[in-house]
Structure 1
């Protein structure tokens, strides 16, 4: 899995305020209105079943990138559950790459 590509795909969201991302994700995210949240199983481990479950739960969601961006900003390495069509184990590995990418972009003065 290429985490650099995943992180680069989120660059267009870098300047979107947290509250706007949260509003978009809670308004448009399928998991907030299409599922009974008590029926969504908890994910653990790094096996392909967790990834398949996460991808299946988020299939067709219009705000997958926004959701992933929001979780990386707000939960970071302490993330749990499914956000952005990825299990928490993947997001914990993505987070330091995302942090380094964003810090590098800020140092270069990149504003996308």
Structure 2
């Protein structure tokens, strides 16, 4: 992904800027496909040591109705320390997106 794609993604997430964390978390856990559509025993374990896996992220999140909410929640709560798949992105992409997202919200990158 490139900077323009991160900027576009950040602009899309701006609609959630005023949504409280608990509301986002409720939507993600209630409606997120990863929380109910997969047999947990069949899901690969994501340790954070795995190589970036865009294919896995795309497969796990395909058709999920709360991808943006999930991504926003992870950026808020994990920030640069993210691991696994959230918002249809592997952790390496979210780490690169994080500073762009922080700056768009008027914050300094932590």
TM-score, normalized by the shorter chain, greater than 0.5: yes
Q: Structure 1 residue aligned with 2:100, among 97, 100, 110?
A: 97
Q: Which runs of 4+ in 1 moved over 3 A?
A: none
1:87 correspondence with 2:93: no
Secondary structure, aligned partner of 1:31: helix
CA distance, structure 1, for counterparts of residue 6 and residue 75 of structure 2: 13
Greater mean deviation of Cα atoms: 95-104 or 77-86: 95-104
The gaps in structure 1 that reach 5 residues or longer are 105-112
TM-score by length of 2: 0.85
Q: Structure 2 residue aligned with 1:45, among 45, 51, 54?
A: 51
> Judging changes above 3 Å, is the alpha-carbon distance between structure 1 residues 38 and 78 closer, same or farther for their aligned structure 2 residues?
farther
Q: Deviations over 1:32-86 (max 9, x none)?
A: 011133432226334xxx1121011100100000000000000001111110000
CA distance, structure 1, for counterparts of residue 41 and residue 91 of structure 2: 18
**1:69 is matched with which residue?**
72
Secondary structure, aligned partner of 1:45: coil
CA distance, structure 2, for counterparts of residue 54 and residue 65 of structure 1: 13
TM-score by length of 1: 0.84
